[in-house]
Structure formats: structure tokens, C-alpha cells
Amino acid sequence: MTQKRVVLVTGGMGGLGETICTKMADAGYKVAATYSPGNKTHDDWVAQMKKRGYDVLAVPCDVADYDSCQVCVAKIQADVGPVEILVNNAGITRDMTFKKMDKVNWDAVLRTNLDSVFNMTKPVCDGMVDRGWGRIINVSSVNGSKGAFGQTNYSAAKAGMHGFTKALALEVAKKGVTVNTISPGYIATKMVTAIPQEILNSKILPQIPVGRLGKPEEVAGLIIYLASEEAAFVTGANIAINGGQHMQ
């Protein structure tokens, strides 16, 4: 790689997002990460990353807001160059049964998890097509493939991401741009490891044939592959990374 390609990771300060950022930097990419405008810890995060040897450009962005995403991408382009790899990783959960689900919690999840994919892809895709090279990687979930009790909003959004992937992949395939989905299962992030051990042991791990949680590094490794030159023939795919929990 003569010049470092620029990768943008949405939700880059979360458990999985941070690992994607550090592993992409280790692989030789220039990394930019979004954080929620209300997050007051971004300076501490950037400083901590610098101590670890990672120079990550942190940019405030409300991924659910189209204009905010336009401003975010323009700043990244001005500071470090055009986005050549986009990792749509930002996401939230608002779990409850459909009986209890209200419009506010439906909208919050659909806007953050699905509208964000349009909002972030729109300002970078044309540039990728014009340059004849690009990678768009959408981070979905095993629950978008198999459904999950209490997650009609989340499962719908995550399934929608892959519909977007397949359609856009067809449109840009001849332009050197690939679009893929990855669907992680239970990964050992702070959110998952906060689940009581007895619940993990009795309810979650028995569903996973390999008998353990996934590692964030394993998910990041798959993303690095999809971003590589060697993955140029992979497009429109939904790659499961769930330890055998759900097979398609």
C-alpha cells in the first residue's frame, strides 16, 4: 500500500468498534471513528489511544441524522483524505416484547441501526465509484438472520442492512466497489460480558457449538479481510461469524 487508505468506523468508541479501529490501524490503514455528539469522553479516548500508539481521528456524528453524516465525511476528507473503506458498525438496542414496544423505541433503533447505513454510505459511495475502488462493510447481527425474542426493532433493522447490501452490491459491482454484511453472534464485548455468568453458562453458551463467546479481534479480522485486495470477488455476501450458533 503506497498511501494509507482511509477507513471510517462508525461507533468506533464502542467495545467492538474500538477493536476494529486498532486492528485496522495495525493493518496499515488510516482510521477515523465517529462518536455520538453527546459523548464527553472522546478526548480521553483519543488520548488513551495515542498512549497505545494509535492516531485515530475522532469525529462527532449523529449517524441517525443525514446532515450530520454529510458534515462528518466532509471533515474526514479535509483532514485525512477520501473515505475508501466504510464500516457501518454503529448500533443500539432497545429490547422489549412487541406488546410493550412503543413508537419511540422502534424509531430509535431503526434510525440508528438502519437509517445510519444510508446516511453514512451516501456521502462516500460516489467517490468510491469515481475512483474505481471501495469497500462498504455493514455490521449486522445473528439476530437479523434468525430473529430474537424481544427484538422486533433490532432484528428488523439488522435484516434490513443486508437487503441494502445486496441491492447496492449489484449497482456498484462493476466499479471496483464491494458491499458486504457480516453477522456476528455473541462477542465478548463489555455489554455481553456484563451479563451474569450463570445466564451466560445456562442460556447463551449452550447455543454456541464452539462453546465460547467470540473475540472482538476475530470480527475485526474478518473486516480486514473484506477490506483487502484479496476480497475483491466477495460482494453481496452475508458472512456469519457466530461460532455455529446459526447456520444458513
Q: What is the distance, to the nearest Å, from the Cα of residue 207 to the centroid of all Cα atoms in its chain?
A: 24
User: What is d(CA 84, CA 6) in angstroms, rounded to the nearest whole number?
Assistant: 6
CB atoms within 10 A of CB 56: 22
The answer to whether 148 and 155 have CB atoms below 8 angstroms apart is yes
Read off the C-alpha cell for 177: 466497489
CB 164 within 8 A of CB 118: yes
| Closest alpha carbon to 87 in 196, 222, 195 | 222
Catalytic residue among 29, 35, 154, 186: 154
Cell numbers standing for residue 122: 451516501
CA-based nearest residue to 106, from 144, 120, 17, 114: 114
Is 66 marked active-site?
no
As annotated, the active-site residues are 154
